Structure 1
């Protein structure tokens, strides 16, 4: 049995589809997956650090967790277009790098504790159990 669709219904359906497509965010059409190198470059740009200063093992863990939680399209657009607004994806990348903690979709996980960027930002402290020098180093004033 053939459906009876009028020209008016076909026109309204096409116009509705066009309006829906125009209203969808750009990330809805992104298909490429961000590579590890692109993620490192994106992370360096977002955090304001040099890509060589970022730990590649931590980057792989962060990227894997972000892809698992559906942030791949947003990461792809951020990596290819510096002007795009992807909502909280950029904030999530920066937060993960500074805290060392990332959402895996199954809960929070530590991607890197001593490699978290917060230790660079907090130059007056260091990670727990991380030696700052020989015994008694804290008794001398810091070098200028």
Structure 2
């Protein structure tokens, strides 16, 4: 015989409170991650000088930089504070003011990630952006992006060319 379940008012209220907490937790984490990405994108726009950066690429680069440097978020916030404090008009001025400061390496890491599409070097590096890496954008209309794919990067997303009429076999030419 199965055990009899009894639920008291306290038990019900306690389990309801736990349920509400667990329901709100993913929403809170999502809001924190969205705010984190928004800050990173704003910082990235300043340090790269590009206003139209892809947020999906930004999320990948942010995750990659955070994985490569465990205190990346702290350094990025310190860099934001430094930008506000120095009131630097552009990244070149900021870079000069950061000479000898450990934040200079963080600045260079963000710029290098956006331009190269990777956050680390070596054979185990993860590529977060290839054809959208900033280093290829200035000459994109005239210089093909280097690749071993026959039709270029992401060739599979373009509709294939139409087939011409196939000959009917067995018919005289």
**Class of the TM-score when normalised by the shorter of the 2 chains:** 0.5 to 0.7
The residue aligned with 1:10 is: none
Corresponding residue number in structure 2 for 1:110: 127
Greater CA radius of gyration, 1 or 2? Answer: 2
Deviation sequence 1:109-131 (CA, Å, 0-9, x none): 10110110011233431324158
Q: Which has the higher strand share?
A: 1
Aligned partner of 2:62 in structure 1 is: 63
Q: Partners of 1:92 and 1:107 in 2: how far apart?
A: 17
Distance 1:93 1:58 in 2: 12
Higher relative contact order (CA 8 A, sep 6+): 1
User: Which residue in the other structure is 2:47 paired with?
Assistant: 46
Instruction: Map residues 1-144 of structure 1 onto 2, 5 A cutoff.
Output: 35-50=36-51, 53-68=52-67, 69-70=69-70, 71-82=72-83, 83=86, 85=98, 86-103=103-120, 107-123=124-140, 124-127=142-145, 128=147, 129=152
Aligned residue for 1:40, secondary structure, equals helix
Distance in structure 2 (CA, Å) of the matches to 1:64 and 1:58? 10
TM-score (norm 2): 0.49
Structure 1 residue ranges, 4+ long, deviating more than 3 angstroms after superposition: none
Aligned residues: 97
